[in-house]
Amino acid sequence: MSLTILQEISAQLQRGNARAVRELVQQAIDAGVPVECILNDGLLGGMSVVGERFKRTEIFVPEVLVAARAMNQGAALLKPLLASSDVKSCGKVCIGTVRGDLHDIGKNLVKMMMEGKGLEVVDLGTDVEPETYVRAAVEQDCRIICCSALLTTTMSVMAEVVAKVRQAGIHDRVKVMIGGAPVTETFCAQIGADRYTPDATTAADAAVEICRTLAETG
C-alpha cells in the first residue's frame, strides 16, 4: 500500500497536480506512512525526476513551476509532523542575486531545485550586498552562499562576496557557489569561488554534495 501511494505522490507531483498531491499526502499520513518516507520517496523523489528531466530539456520552466508548487503544498502538510520527528534537512543554503542586479528568475529556479533536494534555502532576494550574504551565512548557520547574476556589470560583485567570506574567516565551513547567464567556469576560477554550475539541477546536486562533504569533514 505505502509503496504504491508514494509512487502515486511522485507521479502526480511530476505532473504538477497540486490538488492530487495534497490529497495523497494526507491519505499517506492518515495511513500511518512514516513522514520521512512521504517526504523522501514521495515528494523529493518526484522532484528529483523533475530536476533530471529539466536538465535533459525534456521539460521546461513552466513544468518545473507547477511541480514545485505541488511539492510545496504537500510539504506544508508534512511540516508540523516533521518538526516533531528527527528528520533533518541535508543542509542549509542562502541564496540571492548580487548587488545591483534585480533579476531573479534563475535564482528562484535554483531555489526550487535545491528545496526539491531536501535542502533548506534562505532566500535573500535580489540586489544583495556581499556583507548580507556573509551575515546570513553566519547567523543562520548556512553551509553555502549561492550568488546569481544576469549582468556582466554585476557579476564582478561575486568576487567581493568571495573576498568577504575569506575576510570573515569562514571559508573552511561556508562555500561560495555562483551561476547566472554570463557566468562561466573560467570566471569562477578567476575569482576563487568554490563552484560554478550551468543549470539549476546541477546547482542543487552540487550543493547537496558540498553539504555532505562539509558534514563528513566538519
Partner 1 sequence: MDTPRDNLLRLLHRQGYDTVPLEFALCPHLEEVYQAYEHSDLPYNEYFQMPWKRIADLRPDNDDRTRFAHYHAAAGLDAAGEIDEWGVGHRATPTSMHMTQMFCPLRDADSEEEIQAYPLPTYSAAQNPGLSAEVEALKQRGVSPVGNMQCTIWETAWYIRGMENLMMDIMSEDPMAEILLDRVTEMSLSRAKLYAQADVDILFLGDDIGMQQTIMMSEEMYTTWIKPRLKKIIGAAKAVKPDLLVFYHSCGYIEPFIPHLIEVGVDVLNPIQPECMDVEKIFREYGDRLSFHGTIGTQSVMPFGTPEEVRANVKRNLDLAGDKGGLFVAPTHLLEPEVPWENIRAYVEACQNYTR
- What is the C-alpha separation between 208 and 90, in angstroms, rounded? 7
CB of 69 to partner 1, least distance (A): 6
CB of 101 to partner 1, least distance (A): 8
Q: DSSP alpha helices (H): ranges in 56-168?
A: 61-83, 105-115, 130-139, 157-167
* Residues recorded for the chain: 218
Place of cell 509503496: 3
- 100 binding partner 1? (CB under 8 A): yes
CA angle 31, 37, 38 (to 5 degrees): 60
- 49 binding partner 1? (CB under 8 A): no
With contacts defined by CB under 8 A, how many residues of the chain interact with partner 1? Answer: 26
Q: Residues 58-97: x/- map of binding to partner 1 (CB under 8 A)?
A: -xxxxx-xx--x----------------------------
Strand partners, 123: 95
- 164 binding partner 1? (CB under 8 A): no
**CB-nearer residue toward partner 1: 1 or 76:** 76
**CB-nearer residue toward partner 1: 6 or 158:** 158
Residues that bind partner 1 (CB under 8 A): 16, 57, 59-63, 65-66, 69, 99-102, 105, 108, 126-127, 151-153, 156, 181-182, 198-199
